[in-house]
Amino acid sequence: MLCQNETYPFRNVPLPYAYDALEPSIDEETMRLHHERYLQGYIDRLNGILKNCPFLQGMTLEELLAAAKTLPPALREPVCRNAGGVFNHRFYFSGMSPDSPEEPVGELNASICRCFGSFEQFRKEFKEAALSVFGSGYAWLCRLPGGALRICTTPNQQTPLARNMHPVLNVDVWEHAYFLKHVNLREEYVNSWFQVVDWNEAESRYLCALTT
Ligand code: MN
């Protein structure tokens, strides 16, 4: 689903679950619009930019984001914004599942307990981070190069990759992610999101981070 080895032209691959599969936590219409309109928009704009930049066409999203800082200013911002938008949305969508354990599993669970004291404490801190984002952005759980876990936030479509952190989980807190169902109640949305976090996927990402 992540298709993070993909290069130009990027395609909007289907989600690994139906749009209504996360009901009642995340509603069908929000999922449909989020995937078919918002993510599609980032993909279309990114392809539109890369169409005129053959030297960027062989790069994956992660490579584009890493290369962006060396690009001329007029290209840097649109590449970051749109490659970031594709990366962040795919990471968010593939981090949810209708069929997932309710709590973290395996090594990630052990690490969460080690770094935050307990899953409950982690949940509390993660939720505070998600609510602290002013305007649009994301809250993330990342693994640092030394092995520790860290909660952070990014504005707009920035990613933690630039800070040398390996993402394990993210929640999209742009209003379009929850406005239809929760209007301005972001906390209610974050609580619902916790019901559908794919802890198996998070564990895979965490284990993958250990080898890098
Ligand atoms: Mn979004």
Span 171-189, pLDDT tens digits: 999 999 999 899 999 999 9
Distance, CA 170 to ligand 1 centroid (Å)?
Answer: 11
Instruction: Give the pLDDT band (50/70/90) at residue 7.
Output: very high
Distance, CA 143 to ligand 1 centroid (Å)?
Answer: 22
- In a 13 Å sphere around the CA of 206, the CA atoms on its Cβ side amount to 25
List all residues 6 or more positions away from 35 whose beta carbon is below 8 Å from its beta carbon. Answer: 12, 15, 19, 89, 93
Distance, CA 146 to ligand 1 centroid (Å)?
Answer: 30
Distance, CA 172 to ligand 1 centroid (Å)?
Answer: 6
Mean pLDDT across 37-64: 97
Residues having C-beta closer than 5 Å to ion ligand 1: 38, 172, 174
Phi and psi angles of residue 65, each rounded to the nearest 5 degrees, phi first = -65, -35
> Does the pLDDT value for residue 157 go beyond 70?
yes
Task: Return the pLDDT at 1.
Answer: 37
Q: What is the pTM of this model?
A: 0.95
Among residues 99, 120, 118, 96, the alpha carbon closest in space to that of 192 is found at 96
Distance, CA 35 to ligand 1 centroid (Å)?
Answer: 8
Distance, CA 38 to ligand 1 centroid (Å)?
Answer: 6
Distance, CA 117 to ligand 1 centroid (Å)?
Answer: 30
Task: Return the pLDDT at 211.
Answer: 66
Q: Are 68 and 158 in contact (CB under 8 A)?
A: no
Of 21-25, 48-52, 160-164, the range with the lowest mean pLDDT is: 160-164
Distance, CA 198 to ligand 1 centroid (Å)?
Answer: 18
Distance, CA 89 to ligand 1 centroid (Å)?
Answer: 6
> Does the pLDDT value for residue 89 go beyond 80?
yes
Mean pLDDT in the chain? 94
